[in-house]
Amino acid sequence: MMEYFQRQLQQVEGRLIKCEQDFQHFSQRMYDVSKDIHEQNSKMNAQKSEVKGHVDTLSMRLDRVEKDVEYLQSKIPDGTQIEIEDSLLERQVKEERMKQTSVMRKDKDCSSQLVGFKSLKIVKKAGDLNGAWMKDSTKTKIYFFSGTRNRTILSYNSLKAFIHINSTKITEAITLPFPWQGTGHVVYRDFVYYHNADTNNEILKVHLYKHTVSDRLLLPGAGRMPVYSLRPHTLLDFAVDEIGLWTIHADPDYGGNLVITKLDQESLSVEYTWDTNCNSHDAEAAFMICGTLYVVYNSNYGGRSSIKCLFDIHDTLHTESIPVLFFPKRYTTHSALHFHPKEKQLYAWDDGYQTLYKLEIQNI
């Protein structure tokens, strides 16, 4: 009898041990599932933020399209029906595209090239080692962007006002709705265009006086690598010339070569894109003149900056036929270069020094 009870007791103990093992296994499974759910939830939150950005952009575009449609509908007489054959419609679209290209070439085109530097003027030393300063090509105000991540712009009524350090009465602080990243931003026709910090390729157009976002764009293919290898903080660069507004970025799928994009400054839509033969390796900055990209190169330790590569969208100028152009100073390290089409000057940020280069430009 005792042996029977002992065997029964051992069986019960065995079952208890198995239950405990099963419970531990179940607890581990629950922990793993909970961890997976937490990780998936984090990914979903990140994707949700990204999707929200896309939805906001699409919503803004949709509002504009709806307004355009309402305007067009108001211009169409009531009861009128227009039937256009597909072939005729396609032909009209092609003709319209040809007209747009012709307008760009005839009305906005120019035939000038950079041949050298006339003079150099160190205007001031202010702000961080990296930054940007510029003048709106349609105004007289100076805009001062200190650092590679900030949201406060200092505005001065003139270059003279900017030079006078203690002129606080003629200084205006403009706070942007979102911080910028890098040093590539530009001011053009009362708007600032810049790379929105903590995004790969989002461009913001902000009204300088209303301090509101007027438009935004996710630039295809941009933001995957620094636009210039010597300026790792800048993923997107902007430029203004006689033709209009441009962006510059580097494409890792194209060997790190630079890509330039012509933007419509009103709608912030992409008009044209060109893959250039200029590489981002050892590049520190670039600027546009009359539709020609001029890329400035240097070394990791600084030295004499030089223009060794250019790309002309009109295929008139070629790097092989242009000599290397050296900057006047023997030691420079530019974090930003912005061309002023009317003054024919470069507004440069050279290791914390705000510098002006007067350019020698000739017609071709």
* Predicted pLDDT at 107: 43
Same domain, yes or no: 133 and 182: yes
For the whole prediction, is pTM greater than 0.85?
A: no
125 shares its domain with 255: yes
Residue 86 is predicted with a pLDDT of: 55
Residues 63 and 116 in one domain: no
Q: Is residue 145 part of a domain?
A: yes
Give the SS3 label for residue 55: helix
Per-residue model confidence (pLDDT) at position 1: 72
Pair 54, 117 in one domain: no
Task: Check: CB of residue 236 under 8 Å from CB of residue 220.
Answer: no
User: Has residue 178 been placed in a domain?
Assistant: yes
284 lies in some domain:
yes
Residue spans of the chain under pLDDT 50? 79-84, 93-94, 96-103, 106-107, 167-168
The residue range of the domain holding 18 is 1-74
- Residues 58 and 145 placed together within one structural domain of the fold: no
pLDDT in tens, 46-76: 677 676 766 666 666 665 656 555 555 555 5
Asked if the structure places residue 89 within a domain, the reply is: no
Do residue 196 and residue 247 come from a single domain? yes
Give the pLDDT of residue 305.
Answer: 95
Query: pLDDT by residue (tens digit) across 256-285?
Result: 999 999 999 999 999 999 999 999 999 999
Q: 3-state DSSP call for residue 228?
A: strand
Number of structural domains found in the chain? 2
Q: What is the pLDDT of residues 70-112, one digit of tens each?
A: 555 555 555 444 344 555 555 554 454 444 444 455 445 588 8
Bridge partner residues of 356 (DSSP)? 121, 347
Assess contact for 148 and 184: CB atoms under 8 A. no
Let me know if residue 81 belongs to a domain. no
pLDDT given at position 101: 45
**Last residue of one domain, picked from the residues 55, 74, 93:** 74
The reported pLDDT for the residue numbered 97 is: 45
Question: CATH number of the domain that 277 lies in?
Answer: 2.115.10
What is the pLDDT at residue 294? Answer: 97
Q: What is the pLDDT of residue 76?
A: 58
Which pLDDT does position 103 carry in this prediction?
Answer: 42
